[in-house]
Amino acid sequence: MIEIPKAYEPQSVESKWYEFWDQNGCFTADPARVSDARPAYSIVIPPPNVTGVLTLGHVLNNTIQDILARKARMDGKEVLWLPGTDHAGIATQNVVEKTLKKAGEIKHRDDLGREALVARIWEWKEKYGGIILKQLRALGASCDWTRTRFTMDPEYSRCVQKVFVDLYKKGLIYRGKRMVNWCPGSLTALSDEEVTMKEQKGFMYYFRVEVVELVAQPASAVDPAGGGGLSTDPGEGACATSQTLAIKPTGIFLTIATTRPETIPADTAVAVNPKDPRYQHLIGKHVIKALPLDVPKELRVIPIIADEHVDFEFGTGVLKVTPAHDKADYEIGLRHKLPVIDVLTPDGKMTAEAGADLAGLDRFVARKKSAELLEAAGALEKAEPYTNNVGFSERADVPIEPRLSEQWFLKYPSVEASKACVVSGTGSTGAPPVADRALAVGAGAAQADGASVVGARAGVEGGAPGTAPGAGAVPGADAMRFYPDRWAKVYDHWMGGIQDWCISRQLWWGHRIPVWTLPLHVSGNEVAQQLRDYFKEWGIPSEYVFIEVIQSKPDCGDTIRFLTSSDEADAASAKLNSFFQFGKFDASLHEGFPTAHAKDLARAIMDGPAAHQATQDPDVLDTWFSSWLWPFATMGWTGDKSQDSKNPTLQAFYPTTDLVTGPDIIFFWVARMIMAGYEWMGDLPFRNVYFTGIIRDKQGRKMSKSLGNSPDPLDLISQYGADALRFGVMRAAPLGQDVLFDEQTVELGRNFCNKLWNACRFRQMQGGAGLVAQPPSAELVVGQTPSSASVQQAPRPVDPENGTAGGACATTSTGDDVCGEIDPTLLTSDDKWILLRLDQAIREVTQAFADYKFSDATATLYRFFWSEYCDWYVEASKAAFYGTDDTLKANKLAVIDFVLGHLLRVFHPFLPFITEELWHSMGFSKEMPESQGGKTIMFAAWPKPFTDEEKSYFQLDDAADTIAQAKYDLVVLARALKRDCNIDPAKRVKFVVRPAGPMPAAEVEVLRILLSAESLDVVGSDWQPEKGTPMKANALGELYLPLTGLIDFAAERVRLTKELEKIASEIEKVQSKLANPNFAQKVPAKVLEEHQLRLADWQAKEGQIQAALASLPE
RNA sequence: GGGUGGUUGGCGCAGCGGUAGCGCAGCAGUCUUACACACUGUUGGUCGGGGGUUCGAAUCCCUCACCACCCACCA
């Protein structure tokens, strides 16, 4: 006999079952099993950073995914939950660089060099990377670990390269010199999305400049504005021609407001609004820049220009134009052909061009310094405290610098198709959110043209929300839903104003841009053609390599640009690779290399300076440029249509069903995945997107290391158990709202598990010991019960003590010799009540799933299990268990088993470990066929609510429900009565009941047990209580608490009067409503009736109380 | 500046047109033979302010206030 411990101890249970699931391949998805009867369900994990460790955010996110996956398995779907990690360029490189620096191995990344550093990062990744995936196991995540992917897996890299070449060929990727967000901390360009605005306190500096006129010398008619003196190219030096201009002071001063005085040396104009009457007359004149002071005035002359961009309300209405260091200014510079002076180094220090006073200083030090310089020169008018928004690098947390640099940009593909493809997801009435799909639509089969998608949207807006928008359309091409749907607006807004994406990063860790350039001294076209022939000879298909001749500077020869999605496994590509690494050209002159051609080529290329070698672009791609392919690149996508159409995984599981992620990456990731999905798969990447909230502490603050308010989930798991953490977090996480995390909620989860544990223990004790050890009975297979599926699903645990008094095997009157069969004729009102509650709970939880309202589901589970099952049903069942009627006991056990068997299954997605443990130790697993719960509860069928047939089979009518409910109500009233009469709650007292209708002895006993009464006498209408006996009454009858000689009449009078007052006020409320002539006239009949009933109800109570009051002796 | 979400008892939330509910916490009892990680009972709210629609409003509309987040090149 196995004794269940008094308290649930999760630790050993959790590791045991996780190992069991894992080793038995329970998480493994097999596309071959997908069929009409077994639809596919898929989720791809939002890949955590490979450097990541588990946070509460991950717990929230992955618990939801796990719940969805487990529910889908119980629904009989073939489930793929695909895990993996992201290489996370900047973050990972930073981590490893820091580690190396800390260890004193390097001072700077250059100490190692590119190849060595990347090798070290790989080393680090192999050793420490993906810890988080291991941690997810502790949480119970049912990921298909056999399919774990990394965004820098060779196959994945090939996808990235392929996509790059594809986009390039489509003309969507281009290289250009643009203003980008430059991170002086990480020394790389960033996308707009990686910049977060922060309010910063600083100063608005007002400084004066003198307006001058320039008198051109006849000798040199140079335009001072565009003059070489202010040339962009420092190598060409200051333009001496300016010196020949005479400066004529005007005595007029302009005051300029700026927050960045350190950029004054980089100003190349001063702008005013052309409509600004204050300054119109100055347009075309010049000013002398205030800085740098060590440059002669003549060299600091900049023009006053007119530009609409200038807001004359702001500051002084005069804008200093710094094309090198401000996006808007750069635009102005372009419009007015202004020169660009860069005074900042990549790491944010002032260059020599900023003047001797500032050169070498950090930009923020220089800001103060330049203010001082202005002040010293008498140019500073004032400095006012000022708060403005400054863009920060999300990763490095330093202010970014707008910086002109040469980068790769992407014009987003499939934008039109991706726009407005999201429909409202609120209504639960619509198509099932968890889309059932038979064989998934593969690439090419689906048509997601913009028109049909937009049409779907229009239909919804046209007043038919919730109707399946894609109905009639190509399967798989219907729209996507966001939960909560308000994010669709955010998505639409972003899609509407979409800007080209800067995809190159000046880092070493990542997907290196698959572009090589080869400067030539000969005709590019000729060489290009030669090369194409060459590749042809090698057998390299043209789609693998793209060759073009690009424009070069006039004094140089042509440059050839190659793009290739190289495949190292491919012999031809190996040649290609070695070819591009031109330094190794000679080494490649071995067998198979067409020597003649090679020589020609070598001559063509190498007949020049050594610098003229093919070099690969040094930059890597933005991490998101690989993650946006995640839904299909993880499934073995190749981009080759015929190959992909034969890929069972892709065919079965793409598009994925649900995506669970945070709204903070809606642009970074979600939107881009949608575009990528349309572009390369011809279909959206997922049907539903669930946006989690953000985890905050109980004061509503974001979790952060510095605040120390972010508990380690693993600590919580070891302290409370994974189920407890899951349940706690889900309870606290309503759809669409941030989660205020309090450890207390995990404690509550633990208590809940413990309660569940003990509820099962109670069942074990009633049935005797040894449930576990009992072999399964052959005849206990599903399919023998009367009507229906759900009854058939009801597991009936093997009774331990076949034949004993406590056993469930007492033959029931149905005539079946099935153990634990519920005999409907023996069901008490309590039994029927709990079955109805169970039914209701199953309905609610199932609906909550359909709506993605997991906190609703947990609330229902909590209520049903704790408040209804434990507090009432189990307590009531003790009447039978303490009694002597074995038939009744057996039937009671059958009901309990039925309820627990369903309960465990409904709980399983939320509490996978404890439910699995109990499923087995209670013997439920022995009841079920191997594939439907016999082996693991994971594949047991999700409980269904009762059908009408089943309800009538069990005679689950409202009457029984009402009786049980009234019984419990009366118990509550009686307990309160005991308190009101100042009776020690522990004292067992005698009650007397006068039932309003017939009341079987068993019911009376239940009532007695619930009241924990010493006795409960049933009396008839002829019985008269002693005057003033405290009484409570409801529809069930009147309950007296005879207190011979103990009644405090005065106290009782007070109590009753108080009660009467309350009732009177309720009556008054209803009456006044009914008295309103408008009310009776306008109100629906149902409401009117309901009010009248309520009134009658209160009045009846009033009568009872009044009678009691009247019976009190004077 | 624009947008979104929120404002219901001490805390966290539900209710979204017809008797203001739940869970924690609090308070008072109880080691009642599943569970003190429990049980029983119980105190707290004119639903942010104002206006409107309605027989009736926490619930719909308008407006204001505050909080949070997102977007936006105001130097």
The mean per-residue pLDDT over the stretch A568-576 comes to 51
Mean pLDDT of A310-321: 88
Give residues 238-267 of chain A lying near strand B (Cβ < 7 A). Answer: 257-260
Establish whether the CB of A1038 is closer than 7 Å to any nucleic acid atom in strand B: no
Q: Specify the nucleotide whose C1' lies closest to residue A750 (CA).
A: B37
pLDDT at A259: 92
- What is the DSSP code string of A407-443? EEEEPPSSHHHHTT-EE----SSSS-SS--BSSPP-T
- Compute the average pLDDT of residues A16-21: 94
Tell me, in Å, how far CA of A1065 is from C1' of B36? 40
Give the least confident one: A35-39, A110-114, A229-233, A609-613.
A229-233
Asked if residue A866 keeps its beta carbon closer than 7 A to nucleic acid strand B, the reply is yes
Nucleic strand B near CB of residue A1076 (< 7 Å): yes
Which of strand B's nucleotides are less than 7 A from any protein C-beta?
A: 3-6, 11-14, 18-19, 22-25, 29-32, 34-42, 54-56, 68-75
Q: Lowest mean pLDDT of A395-404, A483-492, A542-551, A1070-1079, name the range.
A: A542-551
- b/e burial code for range A8-26 (CB count within 10 A of at least 16 → b): bebeebbeebbeebeeeeb
A205, A388 Cβ separation under 8 angstroms: no
A368 has a pLDDT exceeding 90? yes
With a cut of 60, say whether residue A469 has pLDDT above it.
no
CA of A981 to C1' of B26 (A): 24
* Contact, A1083 CB vs strand B, < 7 Å: yes
pLDDT of residue A523: 67
Q: How far is the CA of A731 from the C1' of B16 (A)?
A: 22
**pLDDT band of A544, cuts 50, 70, 90:** low
> Cβ of A126: how many Cβ atoms within 10 Å?
9
Which range has highest mean pLDDT (A90-94, A230-234, A1026-1030, A1041-1045)? A90-94
pLDDT at A420: 65
Closest C1' nucleotide to A1066's CA? B19
Print burial letters for A309-343: b (CB count within 10 Å at least 16), e (below 16): ebebeebbbbbbbbbbbbbbbbebbeebebbbbbb
Phi, psi of A19 (to 5 degrees): -60, -40
* Encoded tokens for A909: 């997605």
Least reliable range by pLDDT among A75-84, A727-736, A829-838, A1051-1060: A1051-1060
Across all strands, nucleotide nearest A271 (CA–C1'): B75
Q: Please return the burial class of A552, using the count of CB atoms within 10 Å of its CB with bins 0-12, 13-18 and 19+.
A: middle
Residue nearest to nucleotide B34 (CA to C1'): A762
How many angstroms separate the CA of A751 from the C1' of B38? 9
Two tokens, residue A814: 């149905």
**CB-CB contact of A691 with A489 (8 Å):** no
Alpha carbon distance A360, A339 (integer Å): 23
Average pLDDT over residues A16-29: 94
Average the pLDDT over A270-298 and give the result: 90
CB of A317 nearer than 7 A to strand B: yes
> What would the two tokens of residue A58 be?
């991950």
Mean pLDDT of all residues belonging to chain A: 79
pLDDT over 70, % of chain A? 80
Structure tokens at A486: 């308000």
Instruction: Quickly give A393 CA vs B60 C1' distance in Å.
Output: 45
Q: Judge whether residue A944 contacts strand B, using its CB and a 7 Å cut-off.
A: no
- Residue whose Cα is closest to the C1' of B38: A755
**The pLDDT of residue A1040:** 86
Q: What are A210-235's pLDDT values in tens digits?
A: 999 888 665 544 444 443 333 333 33
At A829-879, the pLDDT tens digits run 999 999 999 999 999 999 889 888 888 899 899 999 999 999 999 999 998
pLDDT digits (tens, 9 = 90+) for A880-920: 888 888 888 888 999 999 999 999 999 999 999 999 999 99
Q: What is the pLDDT of residue A800?
A: 34
Q: Which nucleotide is nearest to A331 (CA to C1')?
A: B73
Indicate yes or no: strand B within 7 A of the C-beta of A463.
no
> A944 CA, B41 C1': separation in Å?
37
Model confidence pLDDT, tens digit, residues A182-215: 999 888 999 888 888 888 888 999 999 999 988 8
A242-CA/B4-C1' distance, Å: 55
- What's residue A1113's pLDDT? 74
Percent of chain A with pLDDT over 90: 35
Q: Does A818 have pLDDT greater than 70?
A: no
List phi, psi (to 5°) of A1019: -125, 165
Q: Between the CA of A733 and the C1' of B69, what is the distance in angstroms? A: 17
What is the reported pLDDT for A568? 44
Whether A783 shows a pLDDT value over 60: the answer reads no
At residue A522, does pLDDT exceed 70? no
In the complex, which nucleotide's C1' lies nearest to the CA atom of residue A193?
B71
Give A1077 CA → B56 C1' in Å: 12
Lowest mean pLDDT among A335-344, A699-708, A780-789: A780-789
- Average of pLDDT values for A798-818? 30
pLDDT, residue A487, reads 87
* A169 CB inside 7 Å of strand B: no
Q: Where are the alpha helices (DSSP H) in A309-409?
A: 327-336, 363-376
Cβ atoms A1039, A1032 nearer than 8 A: yes
Query: Residues A829, A1036: contact at Cβ < 8 Å?
Result: no
Least confident of A112-116, A272-276, A1105-1109: A1105-1109
Q: Are A652 and A682 in contact (CB under 8 A)?
A: no
Q: What share of chain A is helix, strand, coil (3-state, %, to 5)?
A: 45, 15, 40
